[in-house]
Amino acid sequence: MLRWPSSKYQLTYMFRSGVQNPNEADMRSACSQAFQRWASVSQFTFQEAPTGSRADILIGFYRGDHGDGDAFDGPLGKVLARAFYPQDGRFHMMQMRIGASRILKSEDQTLKSLQILEEVHKGQTIAGLNKVKKYLNKFGFYANPNDSNLTDDFDDHLESALKTSSVPDDQDFRSAFAQAFQSWEGASQFKFKEASADEKANIVIWFYSGDHGDGLPFDGPGRVLAHSFFPQDGRSHYDADESWSTNPDMNHMDLESVALHELGHVLGLAHSQDPNAVMHSGIAAGTIKRDLTQDDIEGIQALYPN
């Protein structure tokens, strides 16, 4: 049986950088409590290794194939985590996106990087800036068409984005969905409210990248923006790799417009033949369609008559 040698009863651990983790404070607290429980019933002691040092246990969050030969199977799969026996020390957990009530919380690490930018200056190269650029670009703030391979360089484009823009928090996205729900509420007999954390919701909204376990993988920026399932399924999925915005330009998608369309599917509506209708198939970047047309209203009222 594999075991740690007696000289290694004082183990160090480290969280792998360069991957998106859950809320960092919660993650560290949960892992610390787990280590303490094992320390209390064994000869082991555990201490987090300082940055730049080598740790005995390396903790990382990943999606899909992450290079160890054992790919994770997504949020609807059976594998939650995987750890390797002594003296390997690798501890891999599946990175999962949080649902509607916690939209964008998986971006906490990027937001922390944005706070650190207060101490960084143009011309420097800092690990993780490529994620900051991708995050800003997703919301329409970093738009450099010549930079298809985002780098860790603090360049003019990043400086301009940080000076002229603010990063939206999840309240902006909550507002977009709330407005979409209100529009359908005003045209139908439905009432909508956000479920609390311990309630089971009828409609579950998620942002995913690529294959996410429902047989309909997203294809990255462009083409398929979202898909939703008819009643009484309630799932509404959005491509996390799209450039979403609550105030879109010609390179970004209006979240409220797409949400309004997708929630129509959740309620049971198919696509409309009217090109002006919200339920018409397809929407171009920069287009705003936040008002239900007569065709949309007649459709929902025919499906659910008074």
Confidence of residue 212 (pLDDT cuts 50, 70, 90): confident
- Fold assignment, 170-303: Collagenase (Catalytic Domain) (3.40.390)
pLDDT at 95: 56
Architecture of domain 8-94: 3-Layer(aba) Sandwich (3.40)
Q: From the annotation, which residues make up the binding site?
A: 212, 214, 219-220, 227, 237, 239, 242, 261, 265, 271, 279
Mean pLDDT of 46-64: 82
Q: From the annotation, which residues make up the binding site for Zn(2+)?
A: 212, 214, 227, 237, 261, 265, 271, 279
pLDDT at 74: 65
Could you list the beta-strand ranges (E) of 16-102: 45-48, 57-62, 81-83, 90-94
Domain ranges of the chain: 8-94, 105-164, 170-303
What's the Cα-to-Cα distance from 42 to each of 10, 82, 88, rounded to whole Å?
11, 22, 19
pLDDT at 300: 96
Interval 70-129: pLDDT, tens: 777 765 456 788 888 888 777 766 554 433 333 333 344 554 555 555 556 677 787 777
Report the SS3 class of residue 265. Answer: helix
Helix, strand and coil in the chain, % to nearest 5: 30, 15, 55
Among the listed ranges 25-29, 227-231, 236-240, 275-279, which one has the minimum average pLDDT value?
25-29
pLDDT at 140: 47
Structure-block tokens of residue 97: 């996106």
Long-range contacts (CB closer than 8 Å, 24 or more residues apart) made by 47-51: 47/10, 47/11, 47/12, 47/13, 48/12, 48/13, 48/14, 49/12, 49/13, 49/14
Q: From the annotation, which residues make up the binding site for Ca(2+)?
A: 219-220, 239, 242
Structure-block tokens of residue 169: 């928090």
Listed in sequence order, the residues at least 6 apart from 2 whose beta carbon sits closer than 8 Å to its beta carbon are 85, 86, 87
Cα 262 to its chain centre, rounded Å, is: 18
pLDDT at 15: 79
Average pLDDT, the chain: 78
Same fold, 8-94 and 170-303: yes
Report the SS3 class of residue 258. Answer: helix
Confidence of residue 32 (pLDDT cuts 50, 70, 90): confident
Among the listed ranges 40-44, 135-139, 178-182, which one has the minimum average pLDDT value?
135-139
Residue that wins the pLDDT comparison between 47 and 110: 47
At residue 166, does pLDDT exceed 70? no
pLDDT at 19: 42
Interval 222-255: pLDDT, tens: 789 999 999 999 999 988 888 888 888 898 899 9
For this structure, is 262 an active site residue? yes
Report the SS3 class of residue 115. Answer: helix
Report the SS3 class of residue 302. Answer: helix
Report the SS3 class of residue 209. Answer: coil
pLDDT at 102: 33
Beta pairing partners, 205: 236
Mean pLDDT of 27-40: 87
The active-site residue out of 24, 48, 159, 262 is: 262
Q: Is the pTM of this model over 0.75?
A: no
